[in-house]
Structure 1
Amino acid sequence: MNLKSALVLAALAMLLSCPLPGRAEGSRIFLVSHAGAGDPFWKIEFRGAMDAAKMCAAQLTILAPDIPNDIVRQTELLEQAIAAAPDGIATTISHPTALTSKLRLARERGIPVVAFNALPHDVDRLRTPFLAYIGMNDHSAGEAAARRALASGRLRTRVAVAVQQPGLTGLTSRLNGLRNIFEEQGIIVDALDVTSDPDVARQVVTDHLRLRPDTSGLICLGPIGTHALAPLVKKRGSALYFASFDITPLTVQLIREGTMDFTVDQQPYMQGFMSVMLLDLAARYALTPADIDTGVGIVDAENVETVRALARENVR
């Protein structure tokens, strides 16, 4: 977390520790995501949201599909949240069009909505209405990751990218960002649908490496792929360059031991925390939520110790 972000959080904490006029009880906020706590990444998002709700005495309800990236179910859950007429809703926009009608319904009913974590790269805010986005620019993150990987000097000819949830807007944007930079340098990008099943992931990548022995690197777009594929990468030793997105205790360990070069940090705790905070401030003081870029951070051997303990606590 940078100094500016820390100051913002400190200011909010001071504000919310003061007596609050005009409300006899906490605000009611719903958080709707496309994935749940079964994914290690989402434990951090939800921890941030719950900590914020506790700090501002908000009533927080978290809704997520049992199957990750079940867009139909997420749409139903968003409709359920709207029907509850809360003071605000935070939702991922995990599909370019599937949630549009529900977001318009929320606007018609006067329910403030902020988007967090996942957003189409070229979203039209007039067509798909929301007040603010709290999250990382995934396209820029993909480009930054590609540049950092190229700087290692270990990539040649071909790179495999493990996509655990094909079609998810954020992952698509990351993949496109990676392609932009790698293909400019003449490196072929092979996107592999590794699913959320670890056994399937390992088989898909094993088959690909056999068919494409000129593959010099593997980049995972999230922790599900990283956790599944780390044993395979370890077996190959230093022959296969390895990088990822997002932080978990395992990615920290992989970086510390030299198996992984780096991971991209989007500060999911801040995404969950600030989504709830902004909606609570809107409910209390009629303040309009504003975009917050949670950044494209690179965690590698030089700074991994700063996040090691916090990763175990589901904060980083």
Structure 2
Amino acid sequence: MGEEKKIKRRDYLKYTGAAIGGLAVGGALGYLAKPAEVVEKTVTAPAIITTTTLEKTVTKEVIPPKHFEGIKIHFNHGGHCPFGLTVKRGAEAATKDLGCSTEYFDADWVPETMVKQFKDSIAAKPDGIAVMGHPGYDGYADLFEKAYAAGIVVTIVNVDIPELRKKYGPNGCGYVGQELYASGYKVGEACFKYGLKEGDRAAVFSVWEMYPRNLRAMGAEDALKKGGAIVDRVTHPPEVYGDPLKGIPYVTGYYAAHPDVKCMVWDGGGTTAATIKFMEAIGAKPGQIINAGFDLSPPTVEAIEKGYLQVTLDQQPYLQGYLPILNLCLTIKYKMSGLYIDTGAALIDKETVSLVKPLVEMGIR
């Protein structure tokens, strides 16, 4: 009888263990198979199971509108050259930051094309227009009057037109660019630092008949003359700024007549960038002729590093894109008056070019 009880106890433990094991396996399978949003929790009280449903809350980030959304701008960035494209990048960055919309135009630096594009922009009736100032007062006076009569704010880039800026300044017309004559004078003065002497011959290349575009060349000419240099004016068509290789015949023709020239000043970013090409065309070695110019681009940096170009004045074209967009937005929305920003300051030479080279490669300087 004692053995019979022993067998029953063993069977009891066996069956109990099997039951517990089955519950454990079943519970595990149930946990793996259940939907993610349902959590089953077994409570210590016998035969009581509670089920809790977790609801997921999805939070959608609400992005507020940008400050100047809805404002439409037309922007002329001059040309499809390194300088013009840097201006455009600045305008694109401002457009993205401020929230306005901008349509871009380039005229290959031809004043007649700028005038036509200005007329087309007025007809399109944007809220604001940024124009390059190369056509001057005579080219733009009637169009400014027409634009403002239609409620369109206009501001000036790269070449100042003081008469129009002063007349329409309270209504938003500003200027972002170099003070042309002063920047030219600064470059002309710098040529003597790099070896030009009294009595040496120098040439200043420009579109001499195009006022006020030629103010920079006039400044360089006056500084060179004050230092005692003999100065020749060499003129070329405006198309040379957009396609500098078209300027080679003007360079070679001048050099053939004046092989004693010691210094050449280029008053455009495109022509400055072509310094190596120009010197190769006349067979001049690095440093044989003192070269000075304006603006920065990868070819200009290369010319400085190789010794062909002694100095250039950086007028920070990125700002000439960014700030006119800001000017227009502030005027259109808040009736602010026009901004006047002189962007030309730094002379860059072989000692300082390494500081700006990374920014030039990024298309910022």
Which category of TM-score, normalised to the shorter sequence, fits these structures? 0.7 to 0.9
The one-letter code of the counterpart of 1:278 is: N
Change (3 A) 1:79 1:176: same
Q: Which residue of structure 1 lines up, in the alignment, with residue 35 of structure 2?
A: none
The one-letter code of the counterpart of 1:41 is: F
Change (3 A) 1:284 1:227: same
Match for 2:193 among 143, 147, 151?
151
Match for 2:125 among 55, 62, 85?
85
Q: Do 1:119 and 1:169's aligned partners in 2 also have CA atoms closer than 8 Å?
A: no
CA distance in 1, matches of 2:130, 2:177: 12
Of stretches 299-308 and 123-132 in structure 1, the one that deviates more from structure 2 is 123-132
The one-letter code of the counterpart of 2:181 is: H
CA distance in 2, matches of 1:18, 1:136: 36
- Note the 1:1-316 alignment, pairs <5 A: 25-33=69-77, 35-37=78-80, 39-65=81-107, 67-69=108-110, 71-96=111-136, 97-120=138-161, 123=163, 125=165, 131-155=173-197, 156-163=199-206, 165-169=207-211, 171-195=213-237, 196=240, 198-233=244-279, 235-237=283-285, 238-316=287-365
Secondary structure of 2:155's partner?
A: strand
- CA displacement, residues 165-209 of structure 1 (integer Å, 9 cap, x when unaligned): 454445400111012111223322222234415454223222222
CA distance in 2, matches of 1:109, 1:219: 42
- CA displacement, residues 211-262 of structure 1 (integer Å, 9 cap, x when unaligned): 1122111111123223444134254122211111111011111112222111
Of stretches 83-92 and 131-140 in structure 1, the one that deviates more from structure 2 is 83-92
Q: Do 2:274 and 2:300's aligned partners in 1 also have CA atoms closer than 8 Å?
A: no
* Over 3 Å off, 4+ runs: 17-21, 122-130, 165-171, 197-200
Q: Do 2:157 and 2:175's aligned partners in 1 also have CA atoms closer than 8 Å?
A: yes
The one-letter code of the counterpart of 1:26 is: G
How far is the alpha carbon of 1:132 from its aligned partner? 1.0
In the alignment, structure 2 segments of 5+ residues that lack a partner are 1-62
User: TM-score normalized by structure 1?
Assistant: 0.84
Q: Do 2:304 and 2:310's aligned partners in 1 also have CA atoms closer than 8 Å?
A: yes
CA distance in 1, matches of 2:188, 2:209: 20
Secondary structure of 1:98's partner?
A: helix
Report the RMSD for the aligned CA atoms in angstroms. Answer: 2.4
Change (3 A) 1:81 1:57: same
Change (3 A) 1:143 1:112: same
Secondary structure of 1:215's partner?
A: coil
The one-letter code of the counterpart of 1:79 is: K
Of stretches 172-181 and 77-86 in structure 1, the one that deviates more from structure 2 is 77-86
Looking at CA atoms only, which structure, 1 or 2, has the larger radius of gyration? 2
CA distance in 2, matches of 1:32, 1:200: 23
In the alignment, structure 1 segments of 5+ residues that lack a partner are 1-16
Of stretches 241-250 and 186-195 in structure 1, the one that deviates more from structure 2 is 186-195
Change (3 A) 1:18 1:258: farther
Change (3 A) 1:201 1:48: same
Q: Which residue of structure 2 lines up, in the alignment, with residue 14 of structure 1?
A: none
CA distance in 2, matches of 1:59, 1:175: 36
- CA displacement, residues 122-178 of structure 1 (integer Å, 9 cap, x when unaligned): 645456776211111010011000111122233442111222x45444540011101
CA distance in 2, matches of 1:138, 1:204: 23
CA distance in 2, matches of 1:77, 1:213: 42
Of stretches 44-53 and 82-91 in structure 1, the one that deviates more from structure 2 is 82-91
Q: Percent identity?
A: 26
CA distance in 1, matches of 2:310, 2:251: 19
CA distance in 2, matches of 1:78, 1:199: 28
The one-letter code of the counterpart of 1:118 is: V
Change (3 A) 1:280 1:200: closer
